[in-house]
Amino acid sequence: MIEKRDLDYFSQIVGSENIYSDKAHLIAYSYDATREHFEPDAVIFPRNEDDVSKILKYCNERRIVIVPRGAGSGFTGGALPSSGGIVLAMERHMNKILEIDMKNMVAVVQPGVINMDLQKAVEEVGLFYPPDPASQEYSSIGGNVSENAGGMRAAKYGITKDYVMATRAVLPNGDIIKAGKRTIKDVAGYNISGILIASEGTLAVLTEITLKLIPKPKMTKTAMGIFSSVSEAMNAVYKTMASGITPVAMEFLDNLTIRAVEQTYKKGLPVDAGALLVTDVDGNLEEDLDFQLAQIEKVFKENGCSEFKIAKDKQEASDLWFARRNASPSLSVYGSKKLNEDVTVPRSALPELLEKFYAIADKYNVKIPCFGHTGDGNVHTNVMVDGKDPEQVKIAYQAIEEVFQATIDLGGTLSGEHGIGLAKAPYMKMAFTPEEMALFKSIKMAFDPNNILNPYKMGLS
């Protein structure tokens, strides 16, 4: 429990205007997108890396829990103060783009920078930062790195880890480290920066991130395919990727999701369709984009696509993407509680994976609408129930466990982008052997022997 002397010490470091223990702030920093609720004992807004170092050193000596937080937009409780302590909030001060290096095509940012703000800044000078999580308008780069966020462009461009070149971070004892370099190649020493990616704030507090940028493609085109069944659409996904064409995005909606979007927004979607695939291609020559779309259309139609629509302009492209962008909020028509998972399998396993999910839905008599980033094998699986009915909630969690088991049986993973946090911690033993879990715990112990940094996440404590 934090005492007055602790608060007084922190005030000396950051100033009284940057530390709060009043009820309003404790409630505001007690939740994330999971809607779970854990109040911290205090909220601190560090001004710089030196503040972070002093705070962590003191907390390590006093065994005070620290939970780093970006925008609090996570779906698995990674930034929840589940055991009290201090929320270290980065959005107020540590939110600057420090440098855009045109010569070496890198950006140096603080962890509180919003993803979309970075994208806009680099695009103004002709560069491109591809990782685009659905939360890009409000999620922070520090949070993206901590969870290894993905996004719709991952099919072609990869995910956050593919763009992190170097990090500065503060260890739980207050030591400041720099991991990685601004160089294209770097094989000296252990890949500490790589270990910090997706560590969910359990190992160190990120204070500076160096990101790779690429030239911005000059043009993009969008198309949508309509399929009579999910199986046909899933076959079209991996066969397209194997054909030599790499679309920027290959996004999927099943019939339940299509119906939910149409019921909510009335956009004239084909409610009898088994599935929709929405895809983007990009490049610098229009004929190249036309060739890519022609090849995609060919593969789609060989796999049951009844209609292939190409957007004529930006407005039509936006209209085609509307259903995918609004898939998640529309699902509330099926229930007040959504267990939203982001399992991922090899692309060729997608047809079998979706068949298994729908069989689980039939077994438990629940609706499991699915959509997601099928271009990289990442499916957002949503078990929908009445949150006020304890029996339905219990059934939903039973269904989710079978969803995870089906995913693991097909060589997949518990999470493609949301991370583990609190929500998926109970399932880690399904996905990893005792020896692997022991190794994870030993890494945590090496960084944080007193277990003060975001404890009880990822099944590590």
| Owning domain of residue 81 | 4-89
Does residue 461 surpass a pLDDT of 80? no
89, 117, 149 - which closes a domain:
89
DSSP, collapsed to helix, strand or coil, labels residue 388 as coil
Output the CA angle 298-300-303, nearest 5 degrees. 110
Pair (197, 156) in one structural domain: yes
Contact 378/417 with Cβ under 8 angstroms? Answer: yes
Contact 149/373 with Cβ under 8 angstroms? Answer: no
Within a domain: residue 349? Answer: no
Phi, psi of 209 (to 5 degrees): -135, 130
Pair (103, 208) in one structural domain: yes
Q: What's the rounded Cα separation, in Å, for the pair 420 and 456?
A: 11
CATH of the domain at 58: 3.30.43.10
Contact 347/377 with Cβ under 8 angstroms? Answer: yes
CATH of the domain at 309: 3.30.70.2190
Pair (119, 57) in one structural domain: no
Within a domain: residue 449? Answer: no
Pair (101, 208) in one structural domain: yes
158, 183, 215 - which closes a domain:
215
Work out the average pLDDT over 438-445. Answer: 97
Within a domain: residue 379? Answer: no
How many folded domains does the chain comprise? Answer: 3
Pair (84, 171) in one structural domain: no
162, 187, 215 - which closes a domain:
215
Pair (322, 240) in one structural domain: yes
Of the listed ranges 10-19, 109-118, 206-215, 320-329, the least confidently predicted one is: 320-329
pLDDT tens per residue across span 179-222: 999 999 999 999 999 999 999 999 999 999 999 999 999 999 99
Pair (76, 104) in one structural domain: no
Q: pLDDT at position 305, please?
A: 98
Q: Sorting pLDDT into bands at 50, 70 and 90, what band is 389?
A: very high
Pair (223, 211) in one structural domain: no
Question: Roughly how many angstroms between the first and final C-alpha of the chain, as a whole number?
Answer: 19
Within a domain: residue 101? Answer: yes
Q: Sorting pLDDT into bands at 50, 70 and 90, what band is 423?
A: very high
CATH of the domain at 171: 3.30.465.10
Does residue 147 surpass a pLDDT of 90? yes
Pair (231, 210) in one structural domain: no
Concatenating the DSSP letter of every residue in 141-194 gives HHHHHHHT---TTHHHH--GGGTEEEEEEE-TTS-EEEEE-SSS---SS--HHH
Within a domain: residue 128? Answer: yes
pLDDT tens per residue across span 72-89: 999 999 999 999 999 999
Q: pLDDT at position 253, please?
A: 97
pLDDT tens per residue across span 390-415: 999 999 999 999 999 999 999 999 99
- What is the signed CA dihedral for 439, 197, 94, 86, rounded to 10 degrees? -30
Q: What's the rounded Cα separation, in Å, for the pair 341 and 398?
A: 13
Contact 157/217 with Cβ under 8 angstroms? Answer: no
Within a domain: residue 401? Answer: no
Distance (Å) of CA 406 to CA 140, 198, 341, 344, 355: 32, 23, 13, 11, 10
Does residue 276 surpass a pLDDT of 80? yes
Within a domain: residue 457? Answer: no
For the chain, percent of residues with pLDDT exceeding 90: 97
Pair (171, 65) in one structural domain: no
pLDDT tens per residue across span 347-359: 999 999 999 999 9
Within a domain: residue 414? Answer: no
Residue length of the chain: 461
